[in-house]
Chains A and B, each alone.
Chain A
Amino acid sequence: AQSVTQLGSHVSVSEGALVLLRCNYSSSVPPYLFWYVQYPNQGLQLLLKYTTGATLVKGINGFEAEFKKSETSFHLTKPSAHMSDAAEYFCAVSERNTGFQKLVFGTGTRLLVSP
């Protein structure tokens, strides 16, 4: 079965600083990879996804992620953090099991942004 590891349950940055959230996956076949964000008291929403093609993927709110096959990584970055980025972020990988493709989520990383 595929799995996702998110390093760091909490990441703290100052407003304006670089945001880096780490995600590593295990997969025996080329995966689809996703980042979701959950703002307080809300459900998750899709930030960005990688399926095929360009390995640098741009998402909403200035976030981007790069698929690195050699490192089995899909880290999420944003050049300059904003207070509104404070949320929990989940990395996910597609898993094809018994013919049906569904997502496996990581345990999440809570991003804290200080003024």
Chain B
Amino acid sequence: DVKVTQSSRYLVKRTGEKVFLECVQDMDHENMFWYRQDPGLGLRLIYFSYDVKMKEKGDIPEGYSVSREKKERFSLILESASTNQTSMYLCASSLSEDSGRGSTGELFFGEGSRLTVL
């Protein structure tokens, strides 16, 4: 059974702390994504990666960074957590199109990491 695993389901952190959210996929997918999900706003893309060590900003990258040192692992980093980063964070992965120009659109999601920043 294919799987995307997020390291923590629930985290509580204090303002100013550095936060690491880890995501691992076992499907040998090229593309990996980090979204945040907020009520009434749907899913918003923070960062994505289409290859090892490659990363691209999504729609809301401010306050976040990412790391992809290995194909199967994509980490989201909050350098200095703030209360407005309290949210559900979803990691996803996908294969690339045959053209190599992006995701097939069929994303496989982890179960999410609910982060609360106090």
Contact for A43 among B4, B42, B44, B106, CB less than 8 A: B4
Q: Is the CB of A9 within 8 A of B112?
A: no
Q: Is the CB of B50 within 8 A of A46?
A: no
Q: Which A95-115 residues sit within 8 Å CB-CB of chain B?
A: 96, 98-108
**Interface residue? B74 (CB, 8 A):** no
The count of chain A contact residues (Cβ–Cβ below 8 Å) is: 27
Q: Is the CB of B40 within 8 A of A43?
A: no
* Complexed CA–CA distance, A41 and B48 (Å): 23
**Interface residue? B78 (CB, 8 A):** no
The count of chain B contact residues (Cβ–Cβ below 8 Å) is: 26
- Of B14-22, B64-72, B79-87, B97-105, the one touching chain A: B97-105
Q: Look across to chain B and name the residue whose beta carbon is closest to the beta carbon of A34.
A: B105
Q: Is the CB of B103 within 8 A of A101?
A: yes
Q: Which B32-82 residues sit within 8 Å CB-CB of chain A?
A: 33, 35, 40-45, 48, 50, 56, 58
**Interface residue? A61 (CB, 8 A):** no
Determine the chain A residues whose CB is within 8 A of the CB of B56 once the complex forms: 98, 100
Contact for B105 among A44, A98, A101, A107, CB less than 8 A: A101
Q: Look across to chain B and name the residue whose beta carbon is closest to the beta carbon of A94.
A: B105
Q: Is the CB of A49 within 8 A of B106?
A: yes
Contact for B107 among A9, A42, A103, A104, CB less than 8 A: A103
Can you give 10 A-B contacts (C-beta < 8 A)?
A42-B111, A44-B90, A44-B109, A99-B101, A99-B102, A100-B48, A100-B56, A101-B105, A103-B103, A105-B35
